[in-house]
Structure formats: C-alpha cells, structure tokens
Amino acid sequence: MALFDLPIERLRSYRPERDEPADFDAFWSRTLAEAGEFDLAATFTPYDLPLAAVDVYDVSFAGWGGHRVNGWFLTPRGADRPLPCVMHYIGYSGGRGFPHDHLLWPAAGYAVFVMETRGHGGASPQHPGVTGDPHGGDHAQAPGMMTRGILDPETYYYRRVFTDAVRAVDAAAAHPAVDAARIVVSGGSQGGGIAQATAALRPSVKGALIDVPFLTDFRRAVEITDRDPYQEIVRFLASRRDGAERVFATLAYFDGLNFAARGRVPALYSVALMDDVCPPSTVFGAYNHWQGPKEITVWPWNGHEGGAGFQREKQLRHLRELLADG
Amino acid sequence: MALFDLPIERLRSYRPERDEPADFDAFWSRTLAEAGEFDLAATFTPYDLPLAAVDVYDVSFAGWGGHRVNGWFLTPRGADRPLPCVMHYIGYSGGRGFPHDHLLWPAAGYAVFVMETRGHGGASPQHPGVTGDPHGGDHAQAPGMMTRGILDPETYYYRRVFTDAVRAVDAAAAHPAVDAARIVVSGGSQGGGIAQATAALRPSVKGALIDVPFLTDFRRAVEITDRDPYQEIVRFLASRRDGAERVFATLAYFDGLNFAARGRVPALYSVALMDDVCPPSTVFGAYNHWQGPKEITVWPWNGHEGGAGFQREKQLRHLRELLADG
Amino acid sequence: MALFDLPIERLRSYRPERDEPADFDAFWSRTLAEAGEFDLAATFTPYDLPLAAVDVYDVSFAGWGGHRVNGWFLTPRGADRPLPCVMHYIGYSGGRGFPHDHLLWPAAGYAVFVMETRGHGGASPQHPGVTGDPHGGDHAQAPGMMTRGILDPETYYYRRVFTDAVRAVDAAAAHPAVDAARIVVSGGSQGGGIAQATAALRPSVKGALIDVPFLTDFRRAVEITDRDPYQEIVRFLASRRDGAERVFATLAYFDGLNFAARGRVPALYSVALMDDVCPPSTVFGAYNHWQGPKEITVWPWNGHEGGAGFQREKQLRHLRELLADG
Amino acid sequence: MALFDLPIERLRSYRPERDEPADFDAFWSRTLAEAGEFDLAATFTPYDLPLAAVDVYDVSFAGWGGHRVNGWFLTPRGADRPLPCVMHYIGYSGGRGFPHDHLLWPAAGYAVFVMETRGHGGASPQHPGVTGDPHGGDHAQAPGMMTRGILDPETYYYRRVFTDAVRAVDAAAAHPAVDAARIVVSGGSQGGGIAQATAALRPSVKGALIDVPFLTDFRRAVEITDRDPYQEIVRFLASRRDGAERVFATLAYFDGLNFAARGRVPALYSVALMDDVCPPSTVFGAYNHWQGPKEITVWPWNGHEGGAGFQREKQLRHLRELLADG
Amino acid sequence: MALFDLPIERLRSYRPERDEPADFDAFWSRTLAEAGEFDLAATFTPYDLPLAAVDVYDVSFAGWGGHRVNGWFLTPRGADRPLPCVMHYIGYSGGRGFPHDHLLWPAAGYAVFVMETRGHGGASPQHPGVTGDPHGGDHAQAPGMMTRGILDPETYYYRRVFTDAVRAVDAAAAHPAVDAARIVVSGGSQGGGIAQATAALRPSVKGALIDVPFLTDFRRAVEITDRDPYQEIVRFLASRRDGAERVFATLAYFDGLNFAARGRVPALYSVALMDDVCPPSTVFGAYNHWQGPKEITVWPWNGHEGGAGFQREKQLRHLRELLADG
Amino acid sequence: MALFDLPIERLRSYRPERDEPADFDAFWSRTLAEAGEFDLAATFTPYDLPLAAVDVYDVSFAGWGGHRVNGWFLTPRGADRPLPCVMHYIGYSGGRGFPHDHLLWPAAGYAVFVMETRGHGGASPQHPGVTGDPHGGDHAQAPGMMTRGILDPETYYYRRVFTDAVRAVDAAAAHPAVDAARIVVSGGSQGGGIAQATAALRPSVKGALIDVPFLTDFRRAVEITDRDPYQEIVRFLASRRDGAERVFATLAYFDGLNFAARGRVPALYSVALMDDVCPPSTVFGAYNHWQGPKEITVWPWNGHEGGAGFQREKQLRHLRELLADG
C-alpha cells in the first residue's frame, strides 16, 4: 500500500467540521428509552467446554425491539469478587466466533462480554455468528448491512446495533460477576465504531479502546476510499439517485465524529496510515474531537490490520492502570 | 469460457433424481392460503412519461405477509379489449428498472406486468429497485438474499418471493385491461426460476418463458460452479457448520426440479452451454422433468447472457402463436 | 469508486485550452465533400417481427468510402405525417443489437435511426453488430479501434465513423417518414462523442443529447485514467515510440473539445463524477466550450453508467419541449 | 469453491502408492543424531505481560545446526505438578505471533510450546515472526521456503524444520513444568505437516492433532492444485528444467505419506473437501496410511480454513480423554 | 498451473480426426497463385547499427494482395558463400521488435529472415511492429486478429498471413546471401502455427522448428481452454449466433492438423504440458499427424513459455546436423 | 497507466535530500577490503554451443564471503587484441538466462560479462538462474530478497550483491580478452541499481548505462508505489513493527542516491514516466545527483519496460563513441 491520505503532520491536527443534527441527543435519548421498555431478559447459559481456567456462558439478551442478541460471556474461574469487564464489539461481517477466541481478557483477570452485531457472521467460517436482524428493510438495499434502512434514521440498521451495544453494557453491569463501575468498551473497525458510540451513549463506562474505527466521517470516507464497506453506500447512491440527501441526513445521527465529540472517558485509539478501509483522516478526525483523556497509537506501515496483537499488549498495560482498584 | 459441464449429448437426456418433501404440495397450498388472507390491494398509479404509445403505471400490491411489492404495468395505448399479459420476473440483484426498459411486450400488443424481487435492486444503478423485504432474518446470513431465513422453509426468503409472484399473477388477472386467460410468466436467471415456480403454483397461466433458470437443482449447482449467487449457499454452510441438513431440507421446497415436475403449461426454455452461473445440467435437469409441452433453445457458445435478444425474438414468435385469440 | 478528478466546484468552470489545427474546418469540409461523391443508396428493408406498434427496418447506407453501414430504423406504426427522428449512435464495442432494444423513441412518438459504428459489435453477445470496416490499417495498431490509422488524420478510424454519422443524418432526413427539420443526434460514451461531432458537422440538426461523451480532450484523458479505451492510445504510444507527435496531431482533428466549440444547437449533456472511463473534467471541458443553449445533468455517485434510465426520462421531457411542433 | 477432487466416497478408501527411499529411516536417524551434537540450550525468558492466569516465556533453543529457534511457552499459573503440553507448529508464512494468540491450551490446563518455523513470519503483520534460517541456499530458489535447498535432501529446508520440531519436543519435555509423558504435537496446514512428521520421528509423544496437513503427497498435489505454496515447486521446476528427478527424490524424504505410514500414536485429523491449498485426497492419502488409532473430521463445505474453531473444540474434548491422568 | 489436459501417456498416441475440406489443396494452390501475380518486389535496406558481426537489413516485400510486409534480415558479416537461412515467424500480438532481438542465428552462422505478422505489434512496447493489414473487415469482429474475415475462407485473416509467410520464403530464397536449398521455417505459438503451415505449403524448405504451435485443432482448443487468443473465437460466436457453422468451415482451411498431415520435411516440435494457451493435446494432435521425420521435446512443468532458451539450444544442435553442408 | 508521479517539468530539477551515514565510504571500503581477502578464483569454462561468431564461457568467481557467483562471458570470436567489456547486471527475480540472450555486445565487437544476482532466477522459466545465496537470514524476512538481513547493514542482502558486482568487474578486468581500461557497467531495474552502485564503488570503470534503476530513494519509493519489489519492504515493516528505524538506517548504505552522488564516469540513464515499479522521481533524484557527464532518455508513455530495444540502440551508439580507441 502506498500512502494515500493526508501526511501524518496534518493528521495530528486534522479536525473536520461535523454535521450534527439539532436533535441528535434527543434522537438517541428517545431511542434508548424506547428500547428500555423491553426487559433485558439477559440469559447466561453455561457452555460446556473442558476449560479449567474460565467459565464460559452463551449469552442472549433483548436488544433493540426486544430482539434476541447473542454473545459470549467469559470470566476467570474462581474470582472472589466482582471483576472489571471488557465489552467486545465485532468487526464488519464477523460473528462472535468461538469462546476460545476471547481468552485474552479473562487471562488478564477481567470478564469479557462479546456482543454479536446482528445479521453478521453468516459467511464467516472462522468467526461464525448466529444473531439475526429480524428487522428487514422497507426499501431495496445494497448487499451487506451498511444501507439497510438508510433512508431514515428511525429504520437505519445501526440504530438497532448501537442500541444493542448500550444494552449489552447494561446486561454486563447487571451480572453479579461484574464490577459495574469498571466496564470498558472495545473493538476494532466496526467494533471500534460501536465502542466509540457506546462510550458516548453510556458515559458511565470507565474507558474505551477504539481501534481503526469504522462508521466515522462517512462523507469523507466515501469520497477517498474505493474499499468496502464504505463503498456499499456509494453503490446504493449510484442506484438510488434521489437518495443522497436523505442518506447523509440519516448518517449524521450515526457518525463517529458526533459521538467522539461527546466522548469524555479515557480513550485509547489506534490508527494505521496505510489503512484504506478506514482511512487515517477519518480516525484522526474523531480522535481530535474526543473530549476526554486520550492517547492514540499510530502504525505507520500498516493497513486495516492496524496494531493487531501489538495493540492488544498496549491495551493490557493501559487497562492495568485504568482498572486498578483503589 | 471453456466447456465445463456435461456434453450436450448427455444433457439432452439428463434427468436427475429429485429430492421432494412429502408435504411439498401441502406446504405451498398452505403458504398461498395464508397469503390469501391479505387483500391484494393492488394499486396502479399512472406514471407520467411523455410516451405516446403506452400507458405506464407504477404498481404496488400486497405480497407475502401483506408487504407492499412494487413493479410496473404497461399497456399499449388504445386497446379496445382485454389483452394478453406477460408477467416479467427479474434477475438476481436487479430492480424493476425503468418503465422504458419494458417496452417490448407492449410493442407486441401485450400488457406487461413487471414484479420486483423484494430487497433486490439497491445496488443496481442501471436497473434500480425500490421494494424492501420487511422480513428480516432470525439468524445470521451471508450477504445477498440466498440464505436469508434458509434454516427453515417457513422463513426462507424465496417463500416470500414465490408467493409474491403468484399474487402478482392474481393482480394482473384482476386488471380490466388484461385477459386473465392469456397470462404468460417469464424471466431469466432468477426471473426464470420464479417463472418456473409460478407456472407450477398457478397452473391457470397460459404458458411460461424460462431462460437460463436459477434456483434449480441446488445440490448439483453448489458442487459444480464457483460463481455467485449459488456460492452464497456454500459460504453460509462454510460458516454454519451444522446447517447443511437443514439447508437442503429447506431448499427441497424451493427447488426448480420439483416445480418443473409439476409444470403442465407450454414452456419455452433456453440454456447456454458455457453458463457457469446457472450450469446447463441444472437447466436440462428441470427441462427434462417438465411435464407439459416444451421446447428448449440451446446456445452453445454463450455464458449466462444466454440467448439475449435472439431469445426475445423467438419468444415474440412463440407467443404470437400461443396467444393468438381463437 | 472514490473521487479522482477535479471537485465539482472547479469542474463547473473548467474550460481547457484547445489544440485546434488551422485547417480543422477545411479538413472536415473536404472529407464530407469527398464522401458526398458516393450515392447514399440508403435501403430500408422491412424486418419481420410480430410487433404491432412499430415498423422495423433493417437499414443500410453508403458511408465513408461508399462502404455499407448498417443499422435499424423504427417508426411508430400508423403515423399520418412525418415525425421527428432521433439519431442513435452506439457506445464502444457494441453493435446495433436488436430492434427491440430501441423501442423508447418510437414509444414516444418519434422515429429512431440507429447507426452501427463500423467494426464494432463482433464480441458483444447482448448487442451484436454486423458492420465491418473494410478500410484496414496501413500500420500496426493496438487491438480495438482507437488507433487504427491514427498516424494520419486522413486514415484515422474516426474520420470514417464521423462521416458515416453525418451521412446517417442525411439518410434519415431523406426518409419520407421523417421530418427533416426535427432530427436530434444522441448517444452515450462513444455514441455521445459521435453525436457531439455530428451536431457540429451537420448544424441543421435540431438538438443534441450527449451522455458521458468519449473522444474528448484526449490529451488529458490519457494522463488521468487507467481505463480503456483511452488507454489503447497509451499502449500504442508505448510501442510506437516516435508516434506521439503525429498521434496528437491526428487527434486534434477529432477532439470533442473542437467540435463542442462549434456546437450551436441546444444540447443536453450528462456527466458522472465517478466516471473513470470518460473522466468528468473531459466532459465539462467540452460542455463549457459548447456555444449553443445547453444544460448538463450531474450524477455525483455514478461511474460510466452515468444517468442510465434516469437520463432517458430527462431526455424524453427535454425532447417533448424541443420537438413540439407548431 | 466447487468440488474439484475425488468424491468423499472414494476419498474414504484412497490409499496412494508411496515413494519411499530405502534409507528413509537411516536418513532421519542420522539427521537427528547430528543435530543432537548441539546442546539444546533452551532458554525460557519470562515475558512481561499483565496476565494473571498464565506465565509467559519467550523461548529459544538450538535447533538444526545449533541455530537459535524462537517460540513461546505458556503455562497456567499456579500448577502444582507437571502438566501435559501441546506442541504447536505454525502454518506457512506465519510467525509465532503474540503470546495471547496461544491462550487456548493454558486455559484448558495444559502448557503450550509454540515453535516458529525458521524464516517465516517476516511479512505477517498479524502473526509476526523473528526466527531466521541462517542456512541460505546453494542454488537459486523460487521465493518462499518450499524450494530452498530442494536439490538435495541434505540441504532441503524442511530437513532443518523437522529437526527443529523434534528438538522442540525435547526442549518441552525437559522443562520442569511439563509432564514429558503427556506431550501432544499439533498444527494446521504446514503446522499439520510438521506435527505429522514429528509424531513419526519422536514416537514418544502421546498423540497428534493434524489439521489439513501440507507437505503430503507432493507429486499429486503439484498436479491438481493451482495454489501456493505447492505451486512454488512447479515454478521452480519450470525454471530448473533438469531438476524434476532430483526434486522428487528429495521430497520423498519429507513426504507426509511416509511419515504417516510410521505414525503409531493416536491421531485426530481434519480435512476440508473444498480445500484447494491442501487438497483432500492428499490428506486422506496420509490418513489412510496412518498406522495408529485415528479419527478424521470431514468438513464438507470448507476450504483451507478447515474446521477452524470447531475443530479446536473437538480437540479440547479429544485431549481431555487422551491426557486424563491416571 | 495444475495439469488440465490429457495425461502424457495418452498424448503420445492422441491423433484426432481431422476436418478437411475437399478443396483444401485447391484453395491454397489458387491462393498462392493469385498472390504470385504480384511481383515480390523485395527490398533490403541496410539498417545502420554499430554492429561489427552482422549486416542488418530492413526488409519489405509484397505479400498477399501486394501489401507491403516488413521484417528484418540479418546475415553474419563476411560470409564467402550463400548461407542457410532461418525464417522466423512471430507470436501473437508481437511485432518484429529490434534487429538485435534476432542475433542467435547469425551467431550460429546462418542468415535469419524475420517476417512480421500483419497488423500485430501495435501494442507491444518490447517487440514493436510496423506492418499493417490494409485488408479491413467486411463484418464486425472481435478485437484482435483471430476473427477478422472469419466468415469466409477467402477473407480470413490467416489466408493473408500464410500467403505472406510463403512469399517470405521466396524472398529469402532469392537473396544472394542465402542458399535456397537450406531454408528452415521456425516460430513459437502463432509463429509455430505459421511455420507448420508454411512447411506444408512450400515443401522445398529443408526443415521446420515448431514450438507450442497455435492455430491447431481449433475445435478442441476453444472447448478446453479459457485463454486468449483461442477465446477470441468464442467471443465472436457468442455474439454472432448464426456463425458457428461458417466459422468452423473457414477454420478447416487453416487448421494446423491439416497442414501437419501434409508435412514431409524433418520437424522438431516442442510442447508444454501445463500450457493453457496452446493446450498440449492440440500440439500432439498435429505432431502425431506429421508425415515427415519428427521429434518432439516435452516440457512437463512449463506453461506457454514452453522450452524457451533450452529449446533454442536444442534447435542449434538440430540445425547443425540438418544444415551441415557436404 | 495514468501519470502518477511529478510532472516532467518538476522531475527535470528534482533533487531530493539524501540520507547519508557518516561512515558510508568507510563501510564500503571495509566491505570490499574484507571481500578482497578471498581469492577471486575466477573460472571461465568453455560452454559448448554451435555458435560460429562467439566464444561462450560459463563463468564462476568468488564473490562476497568467497561464495561462488555464476554468470556468462561471451567474446566475439577471433579478436586479435583485448576488447572493451560490458558488465551486465540482472533485473529482480531473473537469472543469467542463456548465453544466446546476451549476443548484443559481442555482435557490437565487445565482450560481455553477465553476473547473476545471488539467489534470484529460481522461478524464472525464461531466464533461469543457478547462483544461490549461502548466507541465510538471521531474522524472519518477507519472501523475496529485499528484506534479507535488512536489520543491519552488515547482513543486508545487497551488501553481498554489490560486493559481487565489484568483484565481477575485477574478474572481467583480469581476463586476457578484456581491455581493463574500457569496462562499462550496465543494467536495468535492479541491474541498473547495481550498475549505479558499482560505478561509484569501482570508479575505474569507463562508463555506466543505467536504465530505470531500482534500489534508489527507498524512502520515497515505498510511499508512492504499491508495486513490488519496493513493497516487500512495507510488508516487512507491517510485520516488524519496531523495525523502521533500523531498516532505513540500513538502507541508507545502499541507496542509489548516495551512489549517484559519487558517480563521476559518463552515465547514460533512462527513465519512463509511467513506471510504477521504479517511479520516475526516484530515477531523476539519482540522475540529478550524479556528478559525472550524463544524459538521460525520457520515455513518456512507457512503464517499467522503459526504453527496451530502443534504449539498446542508443547505448550501442553511445558506446561506439565512448569506447572508441585511440
């Protein structure tokens, strides 16, 4: 990959205009309130694996619209008091995978709550998913999830996903093994975008780990990268000729720039300079708007894999400090 | 494209075993009966185009589940009595496009009723669609429509589509400009598969034009072609490891082989020997099971484009005879 | 497709220098005069199709060098006086296709005259062609038609094509079913380039419909797009090392910029901002040079498909006004 | 992926001829004996990660030729007696990655010893490696490791790798935290091929987990798949015209078929029927030659990802039985 | 490349049916006789290069229809008597390139006469060509030369090429530096097909060097390979639906099988078993029909590059014997 | 290829900053001195080919570390005094090929000494190689040679290659058929980079022919091109996260910019403006730093093939003047 975005010197201070609807906060308050009318009804079913060190639960809870959302919940075996918990959101197209894909945080002494992104994971042999999105579309859409219901913020796919994500925090917080005051949201790519939004929508979380976040500065993204999934939006607009105004009006309610501008908890970001899936300017755009304590790791020679396991090690050390109890 | 399927000599007599559920007919009777509880509520809204020769209507009717399904209805202007009508079903990923894409049958003196395939057409700049599929999925699926709800015949996407298609026939038959005794179903690829099914499910139609049909002999198709959309099924099965039995049990209710074995109206098929999207053996498999009068045009040097406009000319001549009013 | 050309604000006023040979007009006057020595010898052979609404003719006339050029001529059946006629020129690599591909203008009440681009259409299964280019090449060329005879304006392929196009107008004008005062030229891509040139060379036409025109601002085009057919020129120059000066000297006689600067009839252009086949700056370059009444439709999210059927609807409305009699 | 190899019915009993050098066992005895002259000099350096549940060591030992080979060694924290240990060998092109990539076996209560494949992992951003192969090539080779030194069994790359793998077992066995009687070799693809060879060369191991093994039935593999890394051999032979006899003579000393025929410990294999990297017939060929207790999991709809995490769960259960103490 | 054609054991004896027109010989006699009415008018213009060892001439002669065909003629400097001459025909899409591309045969003590294939070489930066094919097409064709005039043997492109090739032999034979009794035809791919035909049409040549010949067993070739240039024919037939019978009737006059069956001079063939451009069965088909003394080199691991320089060395040794004077 | 680098006007004067280690000259003096402790031990084994005009020798000499490096040496037969000699270095991935690939300079009256680039040529069917690089890697590397030993200038692959190249000059100079005062270094791409370095390291050479040189301005190259082999470095850095500083510190000892700044002999460069393998700004960067007499040929429409045979003709004429004796 050659460099294709702004040079790092400019990225450091790049802080784009945000397109924020006047009723942004009202929209989300109402959305979460409506969802709150459904009982969480979280279930944690023990999942039989011959693992000595962790307890594994097959999780399900009522997300947006009361729809069942699946995931995994793992805790280190034998803890004698509530533990910090890492919320893990998944990247585009992946499912929750297997419990043993998520052993990192338990090994570090934390619980982990993995939430599936509804509808994803059906063509992901290494990280399969199960959760459906029972809410179909009221208009034709491009394949993939980016444009499902995109003509109206009320019906847009990510309204359901972000709501699921907030409620997953609630489900985790209510679990007796979890110390509700020490929940951290995390994820990479789509998962990073969800974590970013959730940190803004549920400011009680303790921190956020946001890697190469997707769903951020849509307007710029669709103009500077040829890659999916941002290009799903372009294909939709190429077909739906009269849709651009409505589409961008919808996306303004879901843009990571607007969530970042509401982020007040400590955030550890990462960005890759050769990332043509989530271009670095879109990541720095959000980072530079973030209001809370923050730090960003720059991977100059990487693409969308970003910091990969190196970033995990940074996060381990970051959380050791952040979550140290009293 | 090199030849990759059976040689033409063997195709002529290739008649594969069918996997037919015992309650195949009951399933469809019940399905159509349930749908019949929704009023068709067909609307034909005049669409303003400066065309002198045809009347154009933006069509909508209540398909499966009462969901609105869109389409076009065009009639030659100035007819003094009810006309034959060609039902036109659309290929995978396309929408209804524009009224002027469908001028052929009106120019021949017939009405044409174009039905959208719900959910398709959202990334199709030349043939955009509008109809959504409000029925989402109760499990994760591969992108595209092939695997939506595929774990159960009740929820499978094509249950809704085939039902829509039958009801579209009903909507056309009820229109005063249409001679209900002279309705012909037609389509290519997915559209051909829909026409094939509809001819079996609504045997009152007068004939069927079935080009390079998709949705036929799924089992063989997924094993001999690397191409989408059949491969959407393989990607799903690669992810959903325990799903194969349920998937093929579902598909048996939707397999063109089983519909063809119930086809009794005159059918004009076409097939292309270098078609790696809908392999020729899957087409001949259905054709050789068809029970009614039949004819097949073989295009030896073509891929999935099949007979293209040449086949249209054949169809014009075929319909001139078939639809001649006595 | 990401954006890759100038931003729309700059395109609006982008008006490049033109490289115009001193004898540009003389060259074309002479060329057309020489061609004029061949009798047009247009033949309109009825083509048997069971279409009730239109009369179809298989057309042939003597183009450049007296070579036979083929096409279709369709008229609405039963007109009682001469009708407006739309000249339709074809895009690169396509042939005339089938009569029923051209039902739009007859449905609108106009005649349509479809002219093949000589030599094209031999590998176009959906839009086959028949017309050859009996004038071979006096030097080696890149495959395709872009560089045939390109070392000299006298022998360049498009000298023959543009001449054919002008003579096609003459053939249409002479047909009794056509109102010679109401002929409009049209086309997309290569067809748009031909229409653009023809409107300049036969200023008696009533208007021009020019979609995403090719053959325009060759110099810029070969430097900013990697796509064929413009890249055929680059491949030729990569091989013919001493040819650039001669090639661009030739192309100056065929550049849409120079024809646009002579365009005086009303023109309806269209352009797509993500079109990497005919980049938007080359289209705006011509449009901004056009001398007559003009309008341009900008498709911001589309590639070379441009406005597709949406643009057809605009054209229908545009022609309704332009061609209104009385 | 379409099916391309033998049908599953034939695979079940497919047992190809083996090409075995007369001195196969002597070659390996001598090779291991020579390597044995270098002290293992295994070092286990604690690696600082804030993980509560495991102890992590950065491992290094003297492999073939005394070259340092790197890896990871992880043990569940707080074990009060020696534990079973899983040897994990890596797939082609990957390095050892990060300690936290290998938490599965510690979570199950076992130690894990991860050995790098020398020279790999230098272009693997998600699973980086560090170990070099100080033994360069005495002849030109195709890029990649498949053909390094391939003209002579003495200098072939995998002579060094298999020796490293055996010595890694020795290094693990000598570690006080490991119960030397309960060591299991494992790996997928190249790692599966190494595990297969190691089980034959160090028959004291307790069992083998062999997933979609590479390096098996080279002769058939190079003729039925177009994919790397087997095709590295073809590219080499296309260049080295006189090399085929020597190359296959060399490969006979490294062919998984010959190791499988010496396998006597319990083996759990897996194979994928749409795997065009390690075609299923090459896997079944080895499996059907395996002499010990054995079981194979067939993944009918998967490619080279094989069973992925599903196979991990099977292995967990398999080892629970196999490694149960007393 | 995996193996895809018949196994070598079957190839050795594979001798397909030939489709030979009754007037095959008459057609070619007449063709050559008609061409013979044009004076050869060969010119050999000294080409100024500072080469001490060879004399270089820019060659031109009147080929089919009297059209000028270009090439190079090189002789070792200072020969004191007429020398053997190697005719070199060029592969598809290439031109004559540079004089210094052809130093092999002069270095061996022979003259070399390089003939361009008319129309090729216009997009070949490393081997540019200059010769045009002034005979255009009387019907639309697929891009490339394979289908130019293919509807009739009289107008087919290779009628002109093969005639050029025979006349090139005549031009060489008439040159005072050449020993007309010791002329050998040679070439690879298209050049091999031309050499094969020329050896049959001008049986006075002394021998033939035929590498991976193209233009041989068209019927089989188009069915078993996906690669160009054979696929140009398929693309044409996909477009020209009624053309297959005429196309294959034409090709029968140009099929290498029929020329091979007339080959009586010593021939050295080569073939590559992984060649998907000119599949090995088509080469063996011709070789097994060849009537004269013959030998074939089989390259088991190569694609269309065949024996490359290795085959050149074989040819050097072969010619040393064949052309030894005495 | 579209233009992607600086415009030609800016390239003419583009002279980037150089990153030069303080001990650059000392590093190379020491390196060559160390290598000098190995006897050259050049052998010239006659190679039997039936070529009348040249004598061919299979060459081998002791390069860096005393490793045997292979090549060809060809002289015009029958010279009566020592001749000028052209050193020919090979492009990336190629081997020495065949003696008859190198007939140009002998035909011009010069000897030619072809040196293989160690390790290359093992997957190059048309230009096979034999020389290995016995110096393996002390760390994991990306496939290919670009990153072998790249973490330290002492172990970097090109330290050995450039040393080989200088010693090849010495081997040629010592041959009795060569006039040591008239040796010219030459090559394209990697060969151009080697020639450029060698001219600086062995300033006794008479001149340099440097075509589209690789290994020049690494820092810029890796940022503006997506193409291999420069991208091998990026893939390595993407994996070796902590390596960038060391990698660029190493590369500074091998950067063509630094060698060019030491070039004092007459140099004939060539560059192609659409070359995305060795971007034109990296070539002009070196050219504009070259200290000696110089000339550059610009190929505006070519990619990495650059001037191809055209450049050879220029070089022939250039050398005729440069090497004229007396």
pLDDT band at F272 (very low <50, low <70, confident <90, very high): very high
Predicted confidence (pLDDT) at residue D309 exceeds the cutoff of 60: yes
Mean pLDDT of chain E: 97
Residue spans of the domains in chain E: they are 8-322
User: Under CATH, which number does the domain D8-322 receive?
Assistant: 3.40.50.1820
Coil vs helix vs strand at A75 = strand
Residues belonging to the binding site of F for substrate are: 92
Per annotation, catalytic residue among A60, A93, A186, A189: A189
Dist CA C233 CA C224 (whole Å): 13
Tracing tokens 């280690």 back to the chain, one arrives at F21
Amino acid code (one letter) for D170: D
pLDDT band at C325 (very low <50, low <70, confident <90, very high): low
Mutate to test the interface with D, among B222, B240, B241, B242 (most CBs of D within 10 A): B241
Predicted confidence (pLDDT) at residue F325 exceeds the cutoff of 80: no
DSSP sequence for F99-148 = GGGG-HHHHTT-EEEEE--TT--TT-TTS---B---B--SB---SSSTTT
Host H or E run for residue D169 = helix D157-173
Which residues in chain F are contacts of D132 at CB distance < 8 A?
136-141
Tens-place pLDDT, residues E144-185? 999 999 999 999 999 999 999 999 999 999 999 999 999 999
Q: How many CB pairs under 8 A join E and F?
A: 95
Determine the pLDDT at residue F274: 97
What is the C-alpha radius of gyration for chain E, rounded to an integer number of angstroms? 19
Which residues in chain F are contacts of C279 at CB distance < 8 A?
none
Mean pLDDT of chain C: 97
Taking an 8 Å cut-off on Cβ atoms, the answer to whether A126 and D52 are in contact is no
Determine the pLDDT at residue C326: 52
Which residues in chain D are contacts of F93 at CB distance < 8 A?
143
Tens-place pLDDT, residues F18-50? 999 999 999 999 999 999 999 999 999 999 999
How large is the average pLDDT for residues F74-93? 96
Dist CA A86 CA A70 (whole Å): 16
Determine the pLDDT at residue D253: 98
Amino acid code (one letter) for A221: A
Which residues in chain D are contacts of A53 at CB distance < 8 A?
53, 76, 106-109
Gap from E221 CA to chain C (nearest CA, Å) = 18
Residues 6+ apart with CB under 8 A from E41: E61, E62
Cα C97 to Cα A236, B312, C106, C169, D100, distances in angstroms:
29, 12, 16, 20, 61
Predicted confidence (pLDDT) at residue B163 exceeds the cutoff of 70: yes
How large is the average pLDDT for residues C212-237? 97
pLDDT band at F326 (very low <50, low <70, confident <90, very high): low
Taking an 8 Å cut-off on Cβ atoms, the answer to whether D237 and E299 are in contact is no
What is the C-alpha radius of gyration for chain D, rounded to an integer number of angstroms? 19
Q: Which residues of chain A have pLDDT under 70?
A: 325-326
pLDDT band at E206 (very low <50, low <70, confident <90, very high): very high
User: Do the beta carbons of residue B58 and residue B51 sit within 8 Å?
Assistant: no
Residues 6+ apart with CB under 8 A from C25: none
Dist CA D141 CA F117 (whole Å): 12
| Cβ-based neighbour number of residue D231 at 10 Å | 21
How large is the average pLDDT for residues C189-213? 98
Amino acid code (one letter) for F87: M
Q: B124 catalytic, yes or no?
A: no
Predicted confidence (pLDDT) at residue C169 exceeds the cutoff of 60: yes
pLDDT band at C37 (very low <50, low <70, confident <90, very high): very high
What is the side-by-side order of every strand in the sheet holding F178-188?
F43-46, F54-62, F68-76, F111-115, F83-89, F178-188, F207-211, F267-272, F294-299
Q: Which two tokens stand for residue B234?
A: 């393989």
Host H or E run for residue C251 = helix C244-251
Mutate to test the interface with B, among A90, A96, A115, A141 (most CBs of B within 10 A): A141
* Residue closest to E115 by CA, chosen among E87, E74, E93: E87
Q: Which two tokens stand for residue C236?
A: 């030729």
Residues 6+ apart with CB under 8 A from B186: B86, B87, B88, B89, B195, B208, B209, B210, B211, B315
| Torsion, Cα of F125, F128, F131, F134 (10° steps) | -10
Tracing tokens 């070092």 back to the chain, one arrives at D43
Cα B91 to Cα B121, B192, E72, F117, distances in angstroms:
10, 8, 55, 55
Dist CA B34 CA B29 (whole Å): 9
Predicted confidence (pLDDT) at residue D1 exceeds the cutoff of 90: no
Mutate to test the interface with F, among A5, A301, A302, A304 (most CBs of F within 10 A): A301
Q: In angstroms, how far is CA F49 from the centroid of its own chain?
A: 28
pLDDT band at C230 (very low <50, low <70, confident <90, very high): very high
Q: Which stretches of chain B are assigned E, i.e. beta strand?
A: 43-46, 54-62, 68-76, 83-89, 111-115, 178-188, 207-211, 267-272, 294-299
Q: In angstroms, how far is CA A10 from the centroid of its own chain?
A: 26
Predicted confidence (pLDDT) at residue E137 exceeds the cutoff of 90: no
Gap from D91 CA to chain F (nearest CA, Å) = 14
Dist CA A234 CA A279 (whole Å): 16
Taking an 8 Å cut-off on Cβ atoms, the answer to whether E140 and C128 are in contact is yes
Dist CA B270 CA C70 (whole Å): 28
Dist CA C228 CA C234 (whole Å): 10
* Residue closest to D243 by CA, chosen among F121, A111, B235, B322: F121
Tens-place pLDDT, residues C247-306? 999 999 999 999 999 999 999 999 999 999 999 999 999 999 999 999 999 999 999 999
Residues of D with CB under 8 A from a CB of F: 93, 95, 116, 119-125, 128-144, 147, 232, 235-236, 238-241
Dist CA F215 CA F189 (whole Å): 8
Determine the pLDDT at residue B292: 98
Q: How many CB pairs under 8 A join C and E?
A: 118
Nearest CB to E124 within list C138, C232, C239: C239
> Strand A68-76 to strand A54-62: parallel, antiparallel, or no bridges (unpaired)?
antiparallel
Coil vs helix vs strand at B26 = helix
In chain F, the residue whose alpha carbon lies closest to the alpha carbon of D238 is: F125
% residues pLDDT > 70 (chain D): 99
How large is the average pLDDT for residues D297-321? 97
Predicted confidence (pLDDT) at residue D326 exceeds the cutoff of 60: no
Cα D11 to Cα C204, E193, F53, distances in angstroms:
75, 42, 59
Dist CA B16 CA B217 (whole Å): 9
Tens-place pLDDT, residues E16-74? 999 999 999 999 999 999 999 999 999 999 999 999 999 999 999 999 999 999 999 99
Which residues in chain C are contacts of E147 at CB distance < 8 A?
122-123
| Model-level ipTM above the cut of 0.95 | yes
Predicted confidence (pLDDT) at residue B326 exceeds the cutoff of 90: no
Nearest CB to A130 within list B119, B130, B139: B139
How large is the average pLDDT for residues F214-230? 97
% residues pLDDT > 70 (chain F): 99
Predicted confidence (pLDDT) at residue E214 exceeds the cutoff of 80: yes
Which residues in chain C are contacts of A223 at CB distance < 8 A?
2-3
Per annotation, catalytic residue among C5, C217, C275, C276: C275
